[in-house]
Amino acid sequence: MMPEQDLLLAAEESGATAIESAGKTDAPALVLRGIHKSFGSQVVLNGIDLTVASGETLAVLGRSGTGKSVLLKLIIGLQKPDSGSIHIHGQEITGLDIDALNEIRKKMGFLFQHAALYDSLTVEQNVAFPLKRHTKMTASQQRDRVKELLAAVGMERDLEKMPADLSGGMQKRVGLARALALEPAILLLDEPTAGLDPITSDEIDALILKLQEEHDMASIVVTHDLHSAKSIADRIALLHEGNVLIEGSFNDLAKSGDEFVSEFLKRDS
């Protein structure tokens, strides 16, 4: 724990510059402690504790409305927790101002449930958007990088297409390419296979596995898809009534005697 505390102190003293130094240490990629979040009287998250190591993939499972997507939005700072702390590579992010938070966000990639591609921009412009904003690449360098990213997700022939002309699976691929544009250290995936047919889901899973191997990122995958979770995650956390009910490998979950866990896994058997 001591190195982590040192990092927190360093971060408080030097602001965003501590992020870079934090990234070079052995601090976990992500640490959530005692996260509470309510919307009005509805308690969604009730004291969540989670840790994700660098290079590890954690799948977060749970019934609809258990706050899985909210958890991802808290991690990337789109929403603020009511209480608790979120450390990204040792840096506490819940109290950061917008500039410091944006520096942290550059080190994270987010694939939204419905891809959330900018519908007034082409596929190429969508993927180039973070590059234009946050790098000093020349136009030709940006174009090469976009082609490289789109080739990695099998969309290199669709540079000029508009998002409305793409299928759901293709939009997810482009969304994934955009999420990877800045070579993030942490990848957040919100229902990457939701609404896709089984073959496309398997293709997306294979793609995520390939990209994880190539980029060595910490990933958090929120999903309902047990098959997908089993194939891409190192570890699974099952949310129930605002808490992590059980955390471990798929086998650990399968061996659990808990009635809810058994019920949840039944569909996959």
Partner 1 sequence: MRSTLTSVWSLTNRFLEWFGNLGFFAWQVLRAAVRRPFEGRELIRQLDEIGSRSFPLVALAGAAIGAVLALESRASLVQFGAKAMLPAAIVFSIIHETGPVVTGLIVSGRVGAGIGAELGAMKVTEQIDAMEASGVNPYKFLAFTRIVACILMLPLLTLSADFFGVVVGWIANTLVEPISFQKFIHQGLAGTSFNDFLAPTLRTAVFGLIIGMIACFQGMRTRGGTAGVGLSATSSVVLSSLFVILADVILVKFILVFFS
Of these, 73, 143, 161, 224, which contacts partner 1 (CB under 8 A)?
73
Number of C-beta neighbours around residue 49 at 10 A: 14
What gap in Å lies between CA 204 and CA 191, rounded to an integer?
Answer: 11
- The answer to the question of residue 226 lying near partner 1 (CB under 8 A) is no
- Minimum distance of partner 1 from residue 91's CB (angstroms): 15
Q: Is 199 in the site for partner 1 (CB under 8 A)?
A: no
Our CB check for partner 1 shows the closer of 92 and 103 to be 103
The tokens 């608790």 sit on which residue? 84
Question: E strands within 156-259?
Answer: 186-190, 218-222, 235-240, 243-248
Q: Site residues for partner 1, window 32-71 (CB under 8 A)?
A: none
d(CA 108, CA 74): 13
**Applying CB under 8 A, does 200 fall inside the site for partner 1?**
no
Q: How far is the CB of 249 from partner 1 (least distance, A)?
A: 29
Among 14, 20, 82, 133, binds partner 1 (CB under 8 A): 133
Which among 13, 85, 23 is positioned nearest to 216, based on CA atoms? 23
Position among 1, 41, 64, 98 found at the interface with partner 1 (CB under 8 A): 98
Among 86, 178, 229, 237, binds partner 1 (CB under 8 A): 178
User: Of 97, 94, 69, nearest to 223 (Cα)?
Assistant: 69
Q: Does 161 bind partner 1 (CB under 8 A)?
A: no
Binding of residue 110 to partner 1 (CB under 8 A): yes
Question: Per CB under 8 A, which of residues 206..225 are in contact with partner 1?
Answer: none
Q: Which stretch binds partner 1 (CB under 8 A): 6-14, 81-89, 129-137, 258-266?
A: 129-137
Closest CA to 186 of 18, 56, 93: 56
Does 118 help bind partner 1 (rule: CB under 8 A)? yes
Q: Is 99 in the site for partner 1 (CB under 8 A)?
A: yes
Closer CB to partner 1, residue 35 or residue 179? 179
Contact with partner 1 (CB under 8 A): which of 129, 227, 240, 246?
Answer: 129
116 binds partner 1 (CB under 8 A): yes
Cα separation values, 255 from 247, 249, 268, Å: 12, 10, 14
Q: How far apart are CA 25 and CA 87, in angstroms?
A: 13
Integer angstrom CA distances of residue 251 from 45, 183, 191, 232, 233:
25, 32, 22, 14, 12
Closest CB to partner 1 among 186 and 238? Answer: 186
Q: Encode 249-261: b = buried (16+ Cβ within 10 Å), e = exposed.
A: ebeebeebeeeeb
- From the CB of 210, what's the least distance to partner 1, in Å? 23
Q: Are 170 and 153 in contact (CB under 8 A)?
A: no
Sheet of strand 108-111: strand arrangement? 108-111, 186-190, 218-222, 57-62, 235-240, 243-248
Size of residue set near partner 1 by CB under 8 A? 25
Which residues lie near partner 1 (CB under 8 A)? 73, 76, 78, 98-99, 102-103, 105-106, 108, 110, 112-114, 116-120, 129-130, 133-134, 178, 182
